[in-house]
Amino acid sequence: MCIFCKIVKGEIPSKIVLEDENFLAFNDINPTRKVHVLVIPKEHYDSFDVVPPKIMSGMTEFIHKVTSKLELREKGYRLITNIGEHGGQEVPHLHFHIIGGEPVGRLVRDKQEN
């Protein structure tokens, strides 16, 4: 079972921000900005690349609820999903990073800076 499925089951602790029947938002264990929350579907999908569009519809609505609760919508935030090896995905369970609470800077650094 993947690490995020274990979080869904409560086998690994997490700081929950918002939860409903199908989705879960919790704090990233290694935050990169003041706000760094991960949003996942409770059902396992490896990545955005394989998720059914109907799940994404509910996910969009849920992310709006999370960003409203965190009062991020007025100033904005960054929403990222990494996909696969080249995308830098480390956890193979679809997740969106909501990053904000302060300016987040440039999206992707130049290749030579990486």
Burial of residue 28 (number of CB atoms within 10 Å: 0-12, 13-18, 19+): middle
Encoded one letter per residue, x for contact with ligand AMP by CB under 6 A and - for no contact, window 49-88 reads: ---------------------------------x-----x
What's the CA gap between 105 and 23, in Å, rounded? 28
What's the CA gap between 27 and 35, in Å, rounded? 8
Q: Is 89 in the site for ligand AMP (CB under 6 A)?
A: yes
* Closer CB to ligand AMP, 39 or 72, in the complex: 39
Contact 51, 45 (CB under 8 A): yes
* Closer CB to ligand AMP, 38 or 74, in the complex: 38
Q: Which residues bind ligand AMP (CB under 6 A)?
A: 3, 12, 14, 28-30, 38, 82, 88-91
